Each structure stands twice: as C-alpha cells, then as structure tokens.
Amino acid sequence: MRANAISRIAIIAVAAVAVLTGGCAKAVREAPALPVDAIGARDGASYRIDIPKNWNHELIVYYHGYQPRPIVFEKGRRNWPAVDALLAKGYAVIQSGYSRGGWAVEQAYAETEALRRDFVATYGRPVRSWVMGDSMGGALTALTMETRPQVYAGALALCGAIEPSNRILGKAFAMRAAFDYYFPDLLGPLVPVPDTLPDFETMRKRVATALEARPAARDALLRLSGVATAKSFPDIVAFVTQVLQELQQRTHGNPFGNADLIYTGSGDDYALNDGVRRYRADAQAAAYVARWYTPTGALLRPMLTLHDTGDPLVPAGDAFEYALIAERAGHADNFVQQYVNREGHCVFEPAEVTRAFDELVDWVGTGKRPVPGKLP
C-alpha cells in the first residue's frame, strides 16, 4: 500500500511538472520579440504600438488632440515627438488614431480602451499603466482617470481642454460671433457654418488682412481674447470656424449660444453688446457636447497638468476650473497644475514632457505631490 501511495505521488508530481513546464513553454512561445513597432487598424481606427527592447512592463496610453481627419499611422514614423524619450525610459506606448476626426471624444474614449484591452491580451498585463494626452486628448485623459481609476496609476494632461467642453467651446463660439460683428460676412454665416469652407490657409490670410486693415477692431478682439496675439489670432479664428462646422454637423444642430452673454473687456463693450448677433443653442446638440465632456473631479489617482502660459487656444488659466471642480468633489490632493513660460498651443519640448512625467511617477511612487507652478 505504501508503494502504491508513493507511485501515486510520483505520477501526480510528474503531471504537475508537465503542466508547469508546458505552461512555461507556452509563455515562452507567446513572449513578444522586442522591440515592437506595430501599426494596424481596429474597427475603423488606425493604431500604433511601440514596445522598447528594454521594456519595464509599464504602459503609457496616449490620446492625441483634435485633428480634422482621423490619424493614420505609418510604419517607422512617430506622430508624437515625446514618444522616443519615453521609449528610451523603458515604457511601452499605445495610440489610437480614432475612427472619426473632429471633436471625437466619444470615439476616442471607446476605441482607445479597446486597444488597451487588446494590448493586455497580446502582451500581458502591465505592472502599471499611465494615461497621457494633449489638447482634446487632455480632456480624454481627465475623463479616463475619472472613470477608470482601477486601471491607471496616474495621468498627465498636456495643454488639456479640461474645463467643461461646452464652456471652452462656447467661448470660442462667442469670440467668432464678436469677430463677425467687426467683420460681417468675411467668413460667411456662423449658424449654420457653411458645409463648404475655404481651406485653413485661405481663411487665415483673409482674417489677417482684415485685422491689419482695421487695427481698432483687431485690438478690441485681442483684448476680448486676453491671451491671443496679433500673430496667433488669425489662426485661432480659422481653426475655431472649422471646429464649429464639425460640431454642428456632428450634433445635427448648433451646440452653442451667446444670447445671454454680456461681453466685457473689449474696450468697446457698449457697441459690441448692442450690435453683436445673438444665437441660442439647440438643446440636443448642447447636451451632446456636455456629455463629451463635463468633468466630475472624481480623481481617485494623481493627475498632473502642464500648460503653456501663452496658449491662445486652450488658455492656461482655464485649467483652474478643473482645480475647483476637484476641490468640490473632495479630491483636490490628486490634482496639480504646472506651466512653462512659452507662447503657443502644446509647444512643449520632449524633455519637458518627460520631466513632467517623471514628476508624476515620483508622486505615485512616494506619495509626495509635485509643487504647483513652474515646471522644475
């Protein structure tokens, strides 16, 4: 009986070894050959996966900003300059190009999560995951951290449009309406924006010529903006016009209004308020923009934001709205805002992005919050 028991034990042990070694062999077969530089398409969205040879088994999920058309990734071509620096540190990076252009927050949120799940299924679950994005991608970064804190250790929003979307885009609409007061019919109607528009460069030049011809009107608009310069303002007007057209088409209505807005700060407020054309938003269209996205401030994990102080498109000061929202939600300790002194939208150097990211990683690792203010 003792011999039979020993035999049974031996058989079980051999079977266990076979299972274990078989599992190891399977794991070896499925281990990715590094580095990985992969592109593909999933459900109509182009994607890119980069894994360095020295992979630290941590993952950065990156959201790109507003683009008129979906991004299509090309083999060997980086669409984001900071990728190389982050890969050099050992991080894997995945990016979706989104299946739609424009204010594609709805599509980007779902498609990027699907890409992340595919990554986990193919390459294994990372030790830690991080989320990062710029401009509209910053809004997606905040949305992701508020809704999937169980997935991500922390977030870095770069020049992020993290205040309520109907507010930041509504201000752009109001600015375009003010521009039309000073320069009627130059760019055509605002509601609806025509289905066919001149290309960006044509609109930019048209606006620049008009501003130069009427410096008093130009100065009033610049005062109203507060952050734009004579150099950047034509670009903003042209870009905003494209954005408003896309959103009107996306929502099948006009999401914005200025009927109850009193313009202040132009230096010409009496005349502007008396003469500007007033519009009201369509409720269904406005609700769509509010859905994608209105922040909740429900930050259960750290989020660091970085802005250019001279950003004319997503003003750095607007991010304070998110700080207040997080404060009211009881999560102010998980939000830090930093800046660099530079004019332009999302004009960070790759080294600045990696410095900010290093601060985030240190914050998560040690629990010590970065100091708000200028990026060290």
Q: Interior CA angle at 233 toward 231 and 236, to 5°?
A: 130
233-251 vs 165-182: helix crossing angle, rounded to 10: 120
Q: In whole angstroms, what is the distance from residue 257 CA to residue 286 CA?
A: 9
Asked whether residue 151 falls in the same domain as residue 187, the answer is no
Note down the domain range covering 153.
36-164+294-374
Instruction: Tell whether 6 is covered by a domain.
Output: no
**Residue 83 neighbours by CB under 8 Å, 6+ apart:** 50, 62, 93
pLDDT reported for residue 30: 59
Domain end position, chosen among 267, 290, 313: 290
Number of domains in the chain: 2
Instruction: Tell whether 349 is covered by a domain.
Output: yes
Asked whether residue 187 falls in the same domain as residue 278, the answer is yes
pTM of the shown model: 0.91
Neighbours of 121 (CB within 10 A): 9
Q: What is the mean pLDDT of each run of 10 residues along the chain (376 residues)?
A: 38 35 38 90 96 97 97 87 93 98 98 98 97 98 98 98 97 98 97 96 98 98 95 97 98 98 97 98 98 98 98 96 98 98 96 98 98 98
Asked whether residue 154 falls in the same domain as residue 180, the answer is no
Q: In whole angstroms, what is the distance from residue 76 CA to residue 342 CA?
A: 30
Question: What is the CATH classification number for the domain harbouring 50?
Answer: 3.40.50.1820
Residue 279: which of 261, 248, 258, 263 has the closest Cα?
A: 258
Instruction: Tell whether 194 is covered by a domain.
Output: yes
Asked whether residue 106 falls in the same domain as residue 69, the answer is yes
Asked whether residue 180 falls in the same domain as residue 153, the answer is no
Instruction: Tell whether 24 is covered by a domain.
Output: no
Asked whether residue 52 falls in the same domain as residue 70, the answer is yes
Domain end position, chosen among 258, 290, 322: 290
Asked whether residue 300 falls in the same domain as residue 156, the answer is yes
Q: In whole angstroms, what is the distance from residue 84 CA to residue 353 CA?
A: 11
**Residue 304 neighbours by CB under 8 Å, 6+ apart:** 154, 155, 156, 157, 336, 338, 356, 359, 360, 363, 370
Residue 253 DSSP one-character state:
S
Asked whether residue 116 falls in the same domain as residue 169, the answer is no
Asked whether residue 123 falls in the same domain as residue 52, the answer is yes
Instruction: Tell whether 282 is covered by a domain.
Output: yes
